[in-house]
């Protein structure tokens, strides 16, 4: 049946409306809502009486051009509705750079320029550090006249430009300029292949270390506690400190009066040394914190064996862990690979590797973090249990754990006139509000436990706990062959209305050169090694976030 054009008059304004005779009064009211902003429940349509939602419009035998009166005003909520300040733009109308910034966009891959997967995986993992992205965007290279360095050889500048270009596309980026700069600075990466044409495969860990070395020299950041200071980005966010003690293994040296030698050394990575007893990352880190070396003993008058034992005295916000899987094999003249399976956690607790002073600061915070998490898990379990049992109403007591309202009694009269005292219970909403307030108070207590001096160091870890954010993997039997890829945990998108990050979905991006795909966290569990398949070579951990003084998460 054809629609009928009518005129609706509301507050002195006339609206032309097409009415479908087969529709109902409710649909007609929604048409008027879209024109006037008056919600259907607040409308009074005068049409042979007041129009009801369920009334079919065919009942009124409307004629073309007929005038209908409508009364009603928008609610306060309706008055708050305003036209968007920015015009809605659809993806097909966006530029390539705008589309790459949208929620759900697939990040750019990197083209393989001939055995450059070692570099691609390194660049993708380092890109997972948002503070590095921010610092690079502000980096202004010094003039050539002051440094004598050609702009194209400034590796930090090339890193800045590479990441900027990657952020503006979903297509594979060709990192030719960065690779040229790297090979000019470090000729080892320009080594030609011995087995055929083109360049040789390289070690991703060596590329990682050399890139950080260059960035360490060039990229400075402002110190939030000292306006006159501009520390290196790497030293602030990615560099830790060892407190070490060197002791001669021979008793004669100690008996002769030789004293242990104490020292402090910066480190950019923790090494996980793998031997026949190493099964877990912790075992390998313990191995890496103790080493033997030979040096001259002045007391003995000859070379002697010394043991150097290290403890961590500063933890960086971003911790790099290196699986020492490659060693020089004399027979083959190649870097052979240790295939042993070594598991690693998604959350790493490094408190046991710290010196006593740092432990005292970290342990109370770490333990409180676990206490808060347990409380949050208990609250969530109780909520799910009530939902599963159907007890999710505001006026239904919690069946599994009824709580009396401060021992208050409610009086009621029985049949014989006696007054009975009945028990009343807290509603689910009241229980949830109390538990939420309790969790908030615990988070405030957690923030108060952070040592003031440690809190000032925003580039340090303040709890001793880390979450895994990136993994560089290697597939093959030696460092000079095989294939490197990277896994990077997806970050939660920012809510455009609140400016806060949403919850993460726990999934990861797998960067295999120019191919980018999404994988679940289960895939990370398969990267422990045990053969020539993909095994973790570098892990990038980030300090877990801690609540502010108000108990909120940043």
Q: Residues with Cβ < 8 Å from 117, sequence gap 6 or more?
A: 201, 483, 484, 485, 513
532-535 contact pairs (CB < 8 A, 24+): 532/337, 532/339, 532/475, 532/476, 532/477, 532/482, 533/475, 534/473, 534/474, 534/475, 534/485, 535/323, 535/325, 535/339, 535/473, 535/474, 535/475
354 has catalytic annotation:
no
Nearest-5° Cα angle at 83, 82 to 85? 110
Check residue 138 and report its DSSP letter: T
Look up 272 and say whether it is catalytic: no
Residue with tokens 């050399």: 210
Beta-sheet strand order (sheet of 44-46): 13-19, 4-10, 67-71, 44-46
Catalytic residue selected from 248, 272, 346, 483: 483
Cβ–Cβ < 8 Å for 539, 344: yes
Q: What is the DSSP string of 200-253?
A: PP--HHHHHHHHHHHHHHH-B---SS-TT---BHHHHHT-EEEEEEEEESSHHH
**Cα 106 from Cα 485, distance rounded (Å):** 17
CA distances from 11 to 73, 74, 378, 515 (A): 9, 12, 55, 60
Q: Residue 456 has which token pair?
A: 């000032």
Task: From the candidates 10, 117, 248, 273, give the one annotated as an active-site residue.
Answer: 117
Rounded Cα–Cα distance for residues 168 and 171 (Å): 9
Say if CB 112 and CB 120 are below 8 A apart: yes
Extract the tokens encoding 62. Answer: 């409307």
Strand stretches in 301-398, DSSP E: 302-314, 318-324, 326-329, 334-337, 347-349
Active site residues: 117, 483
């Amino acid at each position: 049946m054809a629609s009928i054009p009518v005129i609706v008059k509301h507050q002195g304004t006339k609206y032309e409306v097409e009415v479908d005779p087969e529709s109902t009064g409710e649909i007609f009211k929604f048409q008027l809502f879209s024109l006037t902003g008056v919600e259907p429940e607040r409308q009074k349509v005068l049409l042979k009486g007041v129009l009801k939602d369920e009334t079919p419009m065919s009942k009124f035998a409307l004629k073309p051009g007929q005038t209908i009166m409508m009364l009603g005003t928008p609610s306060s909520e309706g008055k708050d509705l305003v036209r968007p300040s920015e015009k809605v733009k659809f993806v097909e109308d966006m530029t390539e750079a705008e589309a790459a910034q949208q929620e759900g966009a697939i990040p750019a891959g990197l083209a393989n320029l001939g055995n450059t997967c070692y570099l691609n995986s390194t660049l993708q993992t380092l890109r997972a550090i948002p503070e590095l992205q921010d610092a690079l965007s502000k980096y202004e290279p010094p003039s050539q006249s002051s440094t004598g360095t050609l702009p194209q050889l400034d590796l930090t500048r090339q890193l800045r430009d590479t990441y900027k270009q990657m952020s503006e596309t979903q297509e594979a980026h060709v990192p030719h300029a960065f690779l040229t700069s790297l090979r000019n600075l470090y000729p080892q990466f320009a080594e030609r292949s011995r087995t055929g044409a083109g360049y040789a495969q390289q070690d991703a860990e060596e590329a990682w270390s050399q890139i950080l070395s260059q960035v360490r020299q060039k990229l400075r950041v402002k110190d939030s506690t000292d306006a006159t200071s501009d520390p290196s980005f790497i030293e602030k966010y990615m560099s830790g400190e060892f407190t070490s003690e060197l002791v001669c293994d021979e008793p004669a040296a100690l008996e002769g009066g030789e004293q242990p030698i104490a020292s402090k050394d910066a480190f950019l990575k923790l090494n996980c040394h793998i031997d026949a007893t190493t099964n877990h990352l912790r075992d390998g880190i313990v191995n890496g914190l103790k080493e033997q070396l030979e040096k001259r003993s002045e007391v003995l008058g000859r070379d002697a064996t010394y043991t150097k034992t290290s403890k961590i005295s500063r933890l960086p916000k971003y911790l790099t862990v290196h699986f020492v899987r490659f060693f020089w094999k004399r027979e083959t003249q190649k870097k052979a690979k240790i295939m042993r399976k070594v598991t690693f956690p998604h959350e790493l607790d490094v408190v046991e590797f710290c010196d006593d002073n740092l432990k005292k600061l970290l342990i109370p915070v770490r333990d409180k973090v676990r206490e808060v998490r347990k409380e949050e898990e208990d609250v969530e379990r109780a909520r799910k249990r009530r939902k599963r049992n159907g007890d999710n109403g505001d006026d239904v007591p919690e069946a599994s754990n009824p709580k009396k309202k401060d021992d208050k009694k409610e009086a009621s009269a029985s049949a014989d006139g006696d007054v009975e005292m009945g028990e009343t219970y807290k509603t689910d909403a009241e229980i949830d509000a109390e538990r939420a307030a309790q969790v908030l108070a615990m988070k405030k207590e957690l923030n108060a436990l952070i040592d003031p001096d440690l809190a000032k160091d925003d580039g340090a870890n303040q709890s001793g706990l880390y979450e895994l954010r990136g993994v560089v993997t290697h597939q093959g039997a030696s460092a000079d062959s095989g294939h490197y890829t990277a896994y990077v945990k997806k970050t939660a998108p920012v809510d455009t209305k609140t400016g806060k990050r949403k919850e993460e979905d726990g999934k990861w991006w797998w960067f295999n050169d120019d191919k980018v795909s999404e994988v679940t966290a289960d895939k990370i569990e398969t990267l422990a090694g045990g053969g020539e398949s993909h095994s973790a070579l570098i892990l990038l951990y980030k300090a877990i976030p801690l609540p502010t003084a108000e108990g909120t998460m940043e």
